[in-house]
């Protein structure tokens, strides 16, 4: 078995939908909940359907689109075209870079998911350490399904535990046992 060094723990990358600070419903005390992207299930009652794919994406609300074309002109992959005054995206070619979302003046496009390192997320988590100490809280990984990104989940949870931060995992356990065992060690 390969020994994991702290530097390699910090460098592991994952795709995170968002980080919710001051969460009180995802475990004991005041918590920071990290929502990871990716889930193999398609439950009708899913609370975070925008995080089902395991990659960064750009979502689109056609009703907000003014047809200005800024998204099309800034897309580096030429994945967007204007059709009858509305933009249309070729999802097969879109990389989810988000440049079109940055250019949209009406918020018709927005990013879901960012590729980040465990160190970057841990820095955000550490900002709330005083709340964890005073309330008995900590960090919860949620999703999507955190076991889809077992390596990233393991790294982030270990960084938290090494810093004395309580950890919790919201999971369906719909993953191969070796992925789960790796996270739970």
Does pLDDT of 130 surpass 70?
yes
pLDDT tens-digit map of 133-174 = 999 999 999 998 999 999 999 999 999 999 999 999 999 999
User: What phi and psi, each to the nearest 5 degrees, are found at residue 83?
Assistant: -130, 120
Contacts of 27 (CB under 8 A, 6+ apart): 137, 138, 140, 166, 168
Same structural domain for residues 133 and 46?
yes
pLDDT of residue 2: 52
Same structural domain for residues 42 and 131? yes
Identify whether residues 74 and 158 lie together within a single domain. Answer: no
Q: Which two tokens stand for residue 3?
A: 């020994």
Predicted structure pTM score: 0.84
Read off the tokens for 21. Answer: 């600070």
What CATH number does the domain containing 79 carry? 3.30.70.20
Cα R_g (the chain), whole angstroms: 19
> For the residues 90-98, what does the mean pLDDT come to?
90
- Residues 78-98, mean pLDDT to the nearest whole number: 90
Same domain, 123 and 146: yes
Instruction: Residue 39: give the domain boundaries.
Output: 6-50+114-184
| DSSP notation for 3-47 | PPPHHHHHH-EEEEEEEEEEE-SSSSSSEEEEEEP--S---TT-S
Cis bond leading into 144, ω under 30°? yes
Is 170 found in the same domain as 123?
yes
Instruction: Output the domain CATH number for residue 173.
Output: 3.20.20.70
pLDDT band at 1 (very low <50, low <70, confident <90, very high): very low
25-39, 46-60, 135-149: least confident range: 46-60
What's the total number of domains in the chain? 2
How far is the C-alpha of 129 from the C-alpha of 101, rounded, in Å? 33
As a whole number of angstroms, the distance between CA 146 and CA 174 comes to 10
Residue 141 counted as domain residue: yes
């Amino acid at each position: 078995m390969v020994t994991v060094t702290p530097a390699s723990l910090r460098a592991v990358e994952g795709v995170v939908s968002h980080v919710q600070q001051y969460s009180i419903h995802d475990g004991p005390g005041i918590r920071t909940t990290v929502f990871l992207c990716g889930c193999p299930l398609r439950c009708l009652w899913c609370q975070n359907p925008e995080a089902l794919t395991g990659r960064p994406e750009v979502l689109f609300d056609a009703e907000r689109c003014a047809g200005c074309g800024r998204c099309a002109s800034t897309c580096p992959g030429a994945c967007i075209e204007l059709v009858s005054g509305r933009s249309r995206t070729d999802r097969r070619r879109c990389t989810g870079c988000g440049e079109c979302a940055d250019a949209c003046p009406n918020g018709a496009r927005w990013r879901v998911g960012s590729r980040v390192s465990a160190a970057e997320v841990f820095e955000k988590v550490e900002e709330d350490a005083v709340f964890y100490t005073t309330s008995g809280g900590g960090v919860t990984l949620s999703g999507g399904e955190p076991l889809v990104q077992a390596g990233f989940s393991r790294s982030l949870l270990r960084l938290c535990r090494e810093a004395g931060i309580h950890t919790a995992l919201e999971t369906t356990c719909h993953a191969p046992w070796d992925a789960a065992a790796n996270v739970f060690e």
